[in-house]
Amino acid sequence: MRRKLEKFVDPLPEIRLLKPYKKNKDGAHYEMTMKQFRKKLHRDLPATTLWGYNGQFPGPIIEANRDEPVHVTWLNQLPNKHLLPVDLSIHGLDQMPAVRTVVHLHGIETKSDSDGHPEAWYTNNFRETGPAFSRKTFTYPNHQRGSLLWYHDHAMGITRLNVYAGLAGMYILRDKQEEALNLPAEDYEIPLMITDRSFNDDGSLFYPSQPDDAAVNLPNPSILPAFNGDTILVNGKIWPYLEVEPRKYRFRILNASNTRSYRLQLDSNTLFQQIGSDGGLLRCTVEMEEISFQPAERIDVIIDFSKAAGQSITLKNDLGEDADPNDETGEIMQFRVTKSLKNKDSSHLPSALSVIPSLKQNNVSAIRYLKLVGSSDEFDRPLLLLNNKHWYDPVTENPQLGSTEIWGFTNTTNFSHPIHIHLVQFQVLEHQPFDLEQYNIDGKIIFTGPPQPPAANNRGWKDTIEAPAANITRVIAKFAPYSGEFVWHCHILEHEDYDMMRPYIVVDEDEYDEK
């Protein structure tokens, strides 16, 4: 067991902004290289070997403007041996190189060949490539609202390991409408990437090679059904602190953990003013005492420290420390209101933020009910599936380009899953509870209550949503602006890797007729 690390001894790192190497009429051009490097993550922990974009964890921030395209050449210069234990028993990984990468910009609307398809992987210097690989430079058109997106690895069967090793970073898309609101900006707008990890005494990353209760006949290494680290990091530092002025700050917060969900709270009776979610600004500011968020979700909040001069305020995780008194994950970071006010705070916290037209007015061309199912594999390991289909089964979801559909995620497992659909931002319609015990007896859905509207802070544009156990979660999406093959999956990375991910195809009828 690793020794306990003292909390709040390291300052919060500022994540560097990446500058384009050229800008022209086609947009901004970037190069990002995945490298192995070493970094101290805590004052009292030896340096940790990590993988990172441009040798940083988190990767550098890309900042873009709406309607100005961004082109990124993603280069793999990682070693041939993986940092972490690779299970070769799934997805034919024994026939593939151990270290493969492909980047998905999570939340972007882009063509399928720039989306980071799991089989578009490639190795160091593109020596080997996967069956869906077609290009080295990805293009992001940015024809969408301002929001916090994030880029991370998406390689088939090893996403959980590549992201855990450090392959994640943030991408901020800005637009004029948001700028006109005079929200806290520049030094007072701070991105926070929250992750969890476990470490060995020598500072190296710890990730189990098998489940704790591993059966004798399991492959070694063997994939885990879930993994929560015992240590919380923000912007790549373990339990950091941030010195702030007594004024309003805007925090763009991302849950980049593999499995762990958080329920954020501030002590000292301080409240969050939530202004945005995955797909940008909400309609109105929502005052929140606590905010739950699942892996891959983003929340955009304003915290007002103006009445807290001299105080220390802790960002807490109400989901930590419940079951185990030794669990230290109930705290995330500390804000110290110790800086003097540089200038008068002239930023605003508007009550009305943006216009979000309801997709319910659209003509709905299909309603699909998609089951989240628990089963077992030949080794008696948990195997979680979407609609009882494996990754390699034929595609069953084929929305037409420009059509609007309702997808109902029927969660027949006994825990929540954060469901992410590539290409689209959707709207959450409702969650409706059903009798799971009865379903397990005869497969019938018997509702135990009326549909519940989404929480006030989930009524904007979303690309990832919690589908609670024993509920049907209905979302509505317009499948545009691109046709092609995309994926949808659970964003618990251990589930996504095995086998809770499915391809879907947006069909362009005009294109089809031409063929």
Sheet architecture: strand order including 168-174: 59-65, 168-174, 147-153, 103-106
What gap in Å lies between CA 91 and CA 392, rounded to an integer? Answer: 9
pLDDT for res 222: 96
pLDDT for res 30: 98
Quickly list DSSP for 102-125.
-EEEET----GGGS--TT--B-GG
Q: Supply the pTM of this predicted model.
A: 0.97
Structure tokens at 167: 């392959």
Per-position b or e across 485-494, b if 16+ CB within 10 A of its CB: bbbbbbbbbb
pLDDT for res 85: 97
pLDDT for res 93: 96
Query: Tokens 């077992």 sit at which residue?
Result: 376
What gap in Å lies between CA 188 and CA 344, rounded to an integer? Answer: 13
SS (H, E, C) 287-319: EECEEEECCCCEEEEEEECCCCCCCEEEEEECC
Query: DSSP 3-state assignment of 204?
Result: coil
- CA gyration radius, the chain: 22
Low-confidence spans in the chain with pLDDT less than 50: 1, 514-515
Structure tokens at 200: 């060995």
pLDDT for res 326: 77
Instruction: Calculate the alpha carbon distances from 457 to 40, 280, 447, 474, 489 in Å.
Output: 36, 11, 25, 16, 22
pLDDT for res 1: 44
* CB-side neighbour CA atoms (13 Å) of 29: 9
pLDDT for res 216: 72
pLDDT for res 59: 98
Q: Is the peptide bond before 131 cis (omega within 30 degrees of 0)?
A: no
First-to-last C-alpha distance (Å) of the chain? 61
pLDDT for res 510: 76
Contact residues for 308 (Cβ-Cβ < 8 A; gap 6+): 246, 268, 270, 337
Q: What is the pLDDT of residues 111-166, one digit of tens each?
A: 999 999 999 999 999 999 999 999 999 999 999 999 999 999 999 999 999 999 99
pLDDT for res 268: 85
What gap in Å lies between CA 508 and CA 515, rounded to an integer? Answer: 11
pLDDT for res 512: 52
